[in-house]
Amino acid sequence: MTRRALHFAGGGFARRLRLAVWAALLLPQLAPAAAPDWKPERRAEIIVTTAPGGGNDKVARVIQKIVQDRKLVDLAPTVVNKPGGSGVVGMSYLNQHAGDGHYLAITSVTFLAESINGRGIAYTDVTPVALLFNEYVGFGVRADSRIKSGRELIALLKADAGSVSAAISGVGNHNHIALGLVTKAAGGDVKKLKVVSFNSGGEALTAALGGHVDLVVAPFATLLPQVQGGRLRVLGITAPRHVSGVLANVPTWGEQGAPAVISNWRVVLGPRGMGAAQTAYWENVLARVVAADDWNAMLEQDQLSGGFLKSAETRDFLKAQYEELKAVMNELGLLR
C-alpha cells in the first residue's frame, strides 16, 4: 500500500471514530426515553367475585398474606368481596377502573360461562394477568344423608333427576356443568335437575349442612374443612383419574360408571386497558407468590394442580377454554 493510501485510510478511520463519538453523545438526547417501571402508588384491591367463605375468597386471602408476610409490594393489597350475578357484579366493578393497575380480580370458570350466555364481561375485554392453578369439583352430602355413595346418586339421577336437590354457586358454571355431566352420564334428564344457586361455595355448603338440599357441588377445597370435621362425605370428584392424599378414598365418577371430567381454575385478571408495565409488575409478584412454601402447602393440602401461566399464555388459555366450555354448555342445554 502507498503512503497516500495509508493517509486516506488513517484519515477515514479518524473521521469514523469522531462520528461514532458524536453519535454516542447525541443519541441519548434524540432517542425516546424508555418507559419507566410501574409499581402501585396506593393499596391495590384484590376483587373477589363471590361472597366470603368460598374458594375464590380463600385464594385471595392466601395471596394477600404471602404478599404481606414477604413484603412483595410496598403496601399489601386489600381483599374486597363483590358478590352477585354469578360474578357479574365483581367483574363490572373491575372494569369501572379501566387502565388502573391498582385493581385485580380473582375468578373462575363462572366468568367465562356468564360471558358465553351474554352476561357480564367478555374475556377479551379484560387484561389476563395469570393462571394460578386447576382443581376438581366434588359432590358432597351430609354425613347422615340418605345418599350413601356415588353409585346411589347415579341411580337416583337416572330414575328421576328431579328427586335430588343440589346447591351450587352460580348458574351455568363448572359446578353446574359437573352436575349436568354426571346426570347425563347416568342417563338422567338434565332439564329436570333441581338446582339452587347461591352467591358462593360457602353459602351452598351451608345449605347442604343445614339439610335444605340433598347435595352440594363445589370445588373440593371448599368442601375439605367439613370433610375433615366429619360433617360431610364426598361421593365423587370430576378428576380424570384416581388421586392420592386427602382424596385417596374418594372415587372419580368414571370409576363409578358415570364419566364426568371438568377442572375448575382460578385466574387473576386486570381491568381492560391495563398497561404492559402494570401487567408485568403483577405477573412478577404472582410468580413469587406461587413459588412460596405457603402457596405450595395450600396446593398439596387442597389437592390443587399447579400450572402457573403468565399474561400472554393465560389469554390463549382463556380463548381455548371459551370454545370448549361453549360446546359443553350447548350439549347440556345450559345456553340461554
Same-domain status, 245 and 292: no
98 occurs within a structural domain: yes
- Provide the CATH number for the domain around residue 248: 3.40.190.10
Same-domain status, 234 and 165: yes
Distance CA 46, CA 73 (A): 13
- b/e map of 289-303 (b: 16 or more CB within 10 Å)? bbebeebeebbeebb
90 occurs within a structural domain: yes
Looking at the 3D structure of the chain, how many domains does it have? 2
- Residue with the three cell numbers 394460578: 132
- b/e map of 136-170 (b: 16 or more CB within 10 Å)? bbbbbbbeebebeebbebbebbeeebeebebbbbb
Same-domain status, 157 and 243: yes
Same-domain status, 226 and 316: no
Same-domain status, 75 and 187: no
Q: What percent of the chain has pLDDT over 90?
A: 61
Angle at 311 between CA 306 and CA 312, to 5 degrees: 110
285 occurs within a structural domain: yes
Same-domain status, 212 and 298: no
200 occurs within a structural domain: yes
Residues counted in the chain: 336
Same-domain status, 258 and 163: yes
> Mean pLDDT, 10 residues at a time, over the chain (336 residues)?
31 39 41 61 95 88 97 96 90 97 94 86 96 93 97 97 92 87 94 90 93 94 90 94 81 94 92 97 97 93 86 95 87 81
pLDDT tens per residue across span 316-332: 999 998 998 888 888 88
Distance CA 178, CA 296 (A): 26
Instruction: With 0.75 as the threshold, say if the pTM is over it.
Output: no
Same-domain status, 125 and 207: no
Distance CA 297, CA 273 (A): 34
Distance CA 66, CA 296 (A): 11
84 occurs within a structural domain: yes
Same-domain status, 80 and 223: no
Confidence at residue 7, expressed as pLDDT on a 0 to 100 scale = 27
Q: Which of 107, 136, 134, 135 is nearest to 123 (CA)?
A: 107
Tell me the residue range of the domain where 308 lies.
45-135+264-331
Confidence at residue 98, expressed as pLDDT on a 0 to 100 scale = 98
Residue type for position 98: A
